[in-house]
Structure 1
Amino acid sequence: MAAGRRGAAGPGGGTTARGLRSPVAIGLGLMLIAFNLRPALSSVGPLLPGIRAETGLSGALAGALVTLPVLCLGVFGRLGSPIARRIGPDAGVLAALLVLAAGLALRGLGGLGALFAGSVLAAAGIGIVGVILPGIVKRDFPDQGGLMTGLYTALLCLGAAAGAGLTVPLERVLGTGWEGAMMAWAAPALVAALAWLPFVRARPAPAAGGGGALGSLWGDPLAWQVTAFMGLQSSLAYIVFGWLPAALTERGYDTVTAGLLASVSALAQGVLALVVPTLAARRRDQRPWVLVVVGLPVVGFCGLLLGPLAFAWGFALLLGLGLGGCFGLALTLIVLRARDPRTAGDLSAMAQGIGYCGAALGPFLVGIAHERSGGWGLPAALYVALGLAATGFGLLAARDRTVLPQ
C-alpha cells in the first residue's frame, strides 16, 4: 500500500488528512486535472484559419504555432521530476496548474506575441503536470495503475474534445473574437488548481534530496524504447490536433463542422483510452495492443485526408479510438515498466521530456509537406511512416520487462 493511502496525519491533523488521502478524493482530483491538459493544445486548430485571416500569419508561422507547444511539453517536462523532488509531487502539480492558467489567460490578451508566449507558458504547465502524474498514480494506486491511468486518460481526451469542439462556438457566443475564446479555457484550469490545493496542504513536501535517477535510465534500452513509443504516438496525435481542422476546411467543410469532426474524434479517444490501459495492465505482455491502437489512427487520418467525404465521420471515429488507445497504452507502459514510484517518475520524465521534443517534428514536417506539395497526399504518407515506426518501438516497449536504473 502506498504511503499516501496509509492514513498518516498531515500537518493539518488526522481525520481531515486521512479523508483527503482516500482513493476517491484523490481520483476525483486527478480527473479534474486531466481534463485541463489538452484544451490549450486542441483549441488552436479550429481557430487557426480565422487567426491567419485576421493577422496574416504565414504558413510557416502557423506551423510553428502548432509545433512550439509540443516542443515545450518536452523541454519543460524535463523539470517535472526535479520539481517533484524539491517541493513534492502534489505542490508541483499545483504550481504547474497555475502556470497553465496564466498561459491560457495570456493567449487571449491579443496579438501574435501574446498568443505565442501564452502557448509556451501553457505548454510548460502541461508538460510538468504530465510528467508528475504517473508517479502519483504509482504512489496512490499501486494495485489499480491500469484503471486509474485509463480514467485520467479518458478525461484528458474529453478535455481535448471540448477544446476542439467548443472553442468556435465559444468565440461566437462571447463575441470577443478568437482572443476571448482562448482565454476562456483559463477558468477550468483555475478550478482544478483550487480543487488540488487541499492535497498540497495535507501532504507536505519531502526534504530536498540529492540528484535523481533520470540520468541512470539513459543506458537502459527499454527506457529508450518506451520513450520512442511515447514520442511517436504523441507525434501522431499532435499532427491531428494541429492540422485536421485545416485539412477538413480545405476539403470543403465549414469551420464549425470541421471543429465538430475533430471534436468527435477527440471524444472517441476516451473510449479506448479507458479500455486499453485497464485491459493491458492485466497482461504481462502488451504487444497485441500495440498493433491495434497504432493501426486505427493511421487508417482514420489517411481516410480523412484522402478518402471519400461520405465516410468522414467513420474515419474520425477510427482516428479517435486509435489515438486514445495509443496514449493510454503509452502511459500504462511507463507505470508497468517501472518497479517503484520514483522510477516511474524518472521514466515519465524521460519518456515525455525527450518524447515530446521528438514529437514536435511531426506537425512541423506535415506543415512543410503540405505547403510544398499543395495537397494532403504527402502528409498522409508521412503519417503512415510515423505509424510504422511507432509500431516497431511499441512492440519492443510492450514486452514483459522493467527498466533497470544503473
Structure 2
Amino acid sequence: METLTERRTITRAALLLGILLIAANLRAPFTGVPPLLGSIQADFGLSTTAVGALTTLPLLAFALVSPFSALFGREYGLERVLFGALATIALGIALRSIGALWSLYVGTGIIGMGIAVGNVLLPSLIKRDFPNSVASLTGAYALSMGVAAALGSAAVVPLAHAMGWRSALAAFLVLPVAALAVWAAQLGTRTKPASGTAGPPHGGRVWRSALSWQVTLFLGLNSTIYYIAIGWLPAILLDAGLSAERAGSLHGVLQLATAVPGLVLGPILSRMRDQRLPAAVVAGFSVVALVGLMTMPQAALAWSVLFGLGTGAGIILGLTFIGLRTRNAHQAAALSGMSQCVGYLLAAVGPMAMGALHDALDGWRVPLGLCACLALLAVVMGLLAGRNRHIGE
C-alpha cells in the first residue's frame, strides 16, 4: 500500500516536473522563429522591417501583459492562470502555423501574451512551494528554458527542409501540450502570488528615483541587445556566408549559454559587498561579442557563447538588483513592474529598428556597432546600479 510520505513525494515530483515543463515554454516558441525568417520573408515578400515584427510582437505583449499578470493570479489562483497561459501559448502556436499572413502575426502576439504571464507567475510559484530552494530551482528552470530554446533553434531548420516552415513551427506544440498534461493535476489547488510579485506600474518614489532608472536601464539595455541578437543572429550569420543549419545551431548555442550563469552566479553574488564589478564585466562580454560578430564573423561560435553568457548573467543581475536595491516587498514589486514595462518596451523597439537600419544600409555592420554602443551604456548603468544602495537613500 502506498504510504502518505510516498504520495507526497510523488505529488512534489509532479509539481517540480510541471514547473520545468512550463519553463520550457517561456522562450522556445518564439525564439525558434528567427532561423526561419528568411523562408517566411521569401514566401510573403516581406521587408526586413516587417519580418522583424515577428520578434517584436511577443516583446510588446510582455510589456503590456506582464504587469497585470499578478492581478490575474490573485483573482483566479496561480495554478489556473498558469494552465491558462499554457493553453494560450498552444493556441498561438496553432494559429501561427495555419499559413496565412494575418494568423502568423496574430498567433505570434498570442504566444507572447501567454509567455508574459508565465514569466511573472512562475517565480512566485517557486517562492511559495520551494522557499528553501529558490536559487537552485531558479537555476534549474533557467536551464530548462535554455535547453528547450537551444534544441528548438537547432532542429527547426532541418524540420523546415523536411516538412516546410509551417509544419516546423507547428512542431513547437509539443511543448505546451506536454506541460498541460502534467500541470492539469494542479488545478485542484488555488493559491495567490507572493506579495513581491510585480503588479501594474504606478507612480511614487520608485519612478522618481535615479537608482530605479539605473536598474531599469541596465535590465532594459541588456534585454534589448539580447532580443536583437535572438531576432537577427541567423540572418547576420547567413549574410556572413554560413549555412542555414549552422546559423540555426549557433542560435541554439547562444540560448543554451544564457542558462549557464544561473548555475554559478548566485553563490558568487552572495559573497560580494556590491555588484559593480560583475555587472560591468558581463555587459563587457556583450560589447566584445558584438564587436567580434561585426569584425570576425568566422569566429561566430566564440561570440555566440560569450554573448549568451553575458546577457544571461545580465538578466540574473538585473533581477537580483530589484531585490537588493529595495527595502520591502511593496517597493520590490513596484520596481519589478517598472523595470519589466520599460525594459520590454525598449527591447520591442530594438529588433524592428535594427531591421529597418539593415534595409536602409544593406548590411549589419552599423546595426551591430550600435548594439555594441548600447552594451557599453549597459556597462555604465551596471556600475551605477551595482552600488550598495537602496531606493530613497
Are residues 1:350 and 2:338 paired?
Answer: yes
Superposition pairs of residues 4-403 of structure 1, within 5 angstroms: 22=12, 26-173=15-162, 175=163, 177-205=164-192, 214-215=201-202, 216=204, 217-309=206-298, 311-337=299-325, 344-401=332-389
Relative to structure 1, is the Cα distance of residues 164 and 345 closer, same or farther in structure 2, using a 3 angstrom cutoff?
A: farther
- How far apart are 1:278 and its partner, in Å? 4.2
TM-score normalised according to structure 1 size: 0.85
- How far apart are 1:344 and its partner, in Å? 4.9
RMSD: 2.8
Alpha-carbon distance in 1 for matches of 2:59, 2:278:
25
Alpha-carbon distance in 1 for matches of 2:217, 2:324:
16
Alpha-carbon distance in 1 for matches of 2:180, 2:330:
24
- How far apart are 1:140 and its partner, in Å? 3.7
- How far apart are 1:15 and its partner, in Å? 7.3
1:226-256 CA-partner distances (Å, limit 9, x unpaired)? 3222221111111111111001111111211
- SS of the residue aligned with 1:57? coil
Letter in 1 for 2:245: V
Check the 8 A contact 2:21/2:179 in 1, yes or no.
yes
- How far apart are 1:285 and its partner, in Å? 2.1
- How far apart are 1:46 and its partner, in Å? 0.4
Relative to structure 1, is the Cα distance of residues 333 and 72 closer, same or farther in structure 2, using a 3 angstrom cutoff?
A: same
Check the 8 A contact 1:17/1:202 in 2, yes or no.
no
- How far apart are 1:222 and its partner, in Å? 3.8
- How far apart are 1:136 and its partner, in Å? 2.9
Check the 8 A contact 1:45/1:242 in 2, yes or no.
yes
- How far apart are 1:147 and its partner, in Å? 2.9
Letter in 1 for 2:82: V
- SS of the residue aligned with 1:393? helix
- How far apart are 1:159 and its partner, in Å? 2.4
Letter in 1 for 2:340: Q
Q: Which moved more, 1:25-34 or 1:55-64?
A: 25-34
Check the 8 A contact 2:199/2:333 in 1, yes or no.
no
1:279-303 CA-partner distances (Å, limit 9, x unpaired)? 3244352222112211112222331
Check the 8 A contact 2:68/2:199 in 1, yes or no.
no
1:139-184 CA-partner distances (Å, limit 9, x unpaired)? 34444433333222222222221232111122234x1x11111111
Alpha-carbon distance in 2 for matches of 1:70, 1:17:
40
- How far apart are 1:342 and its partner, in Å? 6.2
1:75-127 CA-partner distances (Å, limit 9, x unpaired)? 12122121122122333222212111111111101111111001000011111
Alpha-carbon distance in 2 for matches of 1:336, 1:145:
16
Alpha-carbon distance in 2 for matches of 1:145, 1:220:
28
* Unpaired stretches in structure 2, ≥5 consecutive residues: none
Check the 8 A contact 1:233/1:390 in 2, yes or no.
yes
Q: Which moved more, 1:312-321 or 1:388-397?
A: 388-397
Alpha-carbon distance in 2 for matches of 1:403, 1:348:
13
- How far apart are 1:45 and its partner, in Å? 0.8
- How far apart are 1:317 and its partner, in Å? 1.8
- SS of the residue aligned with 2:260? helix
1:332-381 CA-partner distances (Å, limit 9, x unpaired)? 33344456666655543332233111111111221122122222221122
Check the 8 A contact 1:40/1:123 in 2, yes or no.
no
Letter in 2 for 1:151: A
Letter in 2 for 1:218: W
**Identical residues among aligned pairs (%):** 39
Alpha-carbon distance in 2 for matches of 1:320, 1:64:
22
Check the 8 A contact 1:74/1:354 in 2, yes or no.
yes
Q: Which moved more, 1:342-351 or 1:296-305?
A: 342-351
- How far apart are 1:202 and its partner, in Å? 3.0
* Unpaired stretches in structure 1, ≥5 consecutive residues: 1-13
Relative to structure 1, is the Cα distance of residues 402 and 135 closer, same or farther in structure 2, using a 3 angstrom cutoff?
A: farther
Relative to structure 1, is the Cα distance of residues 403 and 121 closer, same or farther in structure 2, using a 3 angstrom cutoff?
A: farther
Alpha-carbon distance in 1 for matches of 2:239, 2:113:
31
The equivalent of 1:9 in structure 2 is none
- How far apart are 1:305 and its partner, in Å? 3.1
Letter in 2 for 1:42: T
Letter in 2 for 1:164: S
Letter in 1 for 2:337: A
TM-score normalised according to structure 2 size: 0.87
Alpha-carbon distance in 2 for matches of 1:330, 1:81:
20
Alpha-carbon distance in 2 for matches of 1:106, 1:340:
42
- SS of the residue aligned with 1:201? coil
Relative to structure 1, is the Cα distance of residues 328 and 153 closer, same or farther in structure 2, using a 3 angstrom cutoff?
A: farther
